[in-house]
Amino acid sequence: MEYVEPTLDIFFSFWVALAILTIILIKSAVIFVPQNTAYIVERFGKYNKTMEAGLNMLIPFFDRVAYRRTLKEQATDVPSQSAITKDNISLVVDGVLYLKVLDPYKASYGVDDYIYAVTQLAQTTMRSQIGQMDLDKTFEERESLNTNIVTSINDAAGPWGVQVLRYEIKDIEPPRSVLDAMERQMKAEREKRAAILESEGQRQSAINIAEGEKQAQVLNAEAEKAEQILNAQGEAQAILAVAEAKAKALKIVGEVANTVEGQRAIQLELAGDAIDAKKAIAKESSVILLPDGQTQTANIVAEAMTIISALNGNKSSAGDK
């Protein structure tokens, strides 16, 4: 019994060690690659294959994962750096770089550190692009500057298996003296625009006032014209009404004068008018002139009747003709 127990212990230990070794081998042989990730496998120190997302197998002790490259878009900060513009103004510029690995093999063996290489390339390209532009253009054409930098970086980063998607300038900081000059310029521009707007406002106000006065004068003239027309029409209508009334009165008087009663009434009216005239003359003057042989009222009436008879005779003669 004493001999059997050590044998069983050794046998059990062997199988346990074998199981552990098997688990270790399986674990090292089976690789699960995450999504948007690529593993570079080397065998005996030489590139063997690129493992993509999912389940992959390795030969233990012969193969090893040399590089793990993410295929996601990466954002890398570009440190601040000094750049000189075309008009010799020193600027401090920083930005952010967005890049993506397209070829894991080239990103692993084409360059030692592709992020550092692309960042340095972005800095040198940025200095070169800013050196071709004036200070004002760097602020006005920032989008064009970003596009030119991306194009230049991609042309140089092709052998590294990296593509720069976009580059954004975060800040452009000119010297303090330039900032003060720009501030004074902007202040002058604002004052200029304010003065222009104020003068335009005064001009428009003067035009509006003149237009209003012109319209008021036109309206007043039209009102006066209309008033004059209405007054003239009213006067014309009044004259016509008076004339029609006089015509009607004369017509009535003429009709009555053709009768006997009318003749007598006319005689009495003329006699009364003659007497009133004499009285008026007597009041105004101390000297009274009377025609010879006509000092009596009856004579005056007779004379008036003679005139009326003559008029009636002339009217009858005209009617016969």
Q: Give me the amino acid identity at 250.
A: L
Given a cut of 50, whether residue 318 has pLDDT beyond it is no
The reported pLDDT for the residue numbered 3 is 46
More confidently predicted of 202 and 176: 202
CATH 3.30.479.30 fits 74-174, yes or no: yes
**Ramachandran region, residue 54 (left: φ > 0; alpha: ψ -120 to 50; beta: rest):** left
Per-residue pLDDT band for 295 (boundaries 50, 70, 90) equals very low
Nearest of 65, 69, 124, 74 to residue 99 by alpha carbon: 74
Residue in 167, 172, 171 with CA at minimum distance from that of residue 96: 167
pLDDT in tens, 202-247: 888 888 888 888 888 888 888 888 888 888 888 888 888 877 877 7
Q: Lowest mean pLDDT of 103-112, 163-172, 300-309, name the range.
A: 300-309
Q: Over pLDDT 90: what percentage of the chain?
A: 13
Asked if 145 and 130 count as a contact pair (C-beta separation under 8 A), the reply is yes
The average pLDDT across 66-92 equals: 88
Summarize pLDDT for 135-164 with one digit per residue, the tens.
878 877 888 888 888 988 898 888 899 999
pLDDT bracket for residue 74 (50, 70, 90): very high
What pLDDT does 55 receive?
A: 86
146 CB-near residues (< 8 Å, 6+ apart) = 166, 167, 168, 169
pLDDT in tens, 255-264: 666 676 666 6
Dihedral pair phi/psi, residue 82, rounded to 5°: -95, 140
| C-alpha to C-alpha distance for 42 and 287, rounded to whole angstroms | 163
**Tokens 């080239």 identify what position?**
106
**Of 22-26, 54-58, 105-109, 194-198, minimum mean pLDDT range:** 22-26
Residues 6 or more apart whose CB falls under 8 angstroms from that of 105 comprise 40, 47, 50, 161
Task: Between 201 and 276, name the one with better pLDDT.
Answer: 201
Give ranges for CATH 3.30.479.30 in the chain. Answer: 74-174
pLDDT at 293 over 50: no
For residue 34, give Cα distances in angstroms to 43, 86, 156: 21, 48, 30
Reported as a single tens digit per residue, the pLDDT across 179-194 is 677 778 778 888 888 8
Give the pLDDT of residue 105. Answer: 92
Q: How confident is residue 304, by pLDDT bands cut at 50, 70 and 90?
A: low
User: With pLDDT > 70 as the criterion, what percentage of the chain qualifies?
Assistant: 74
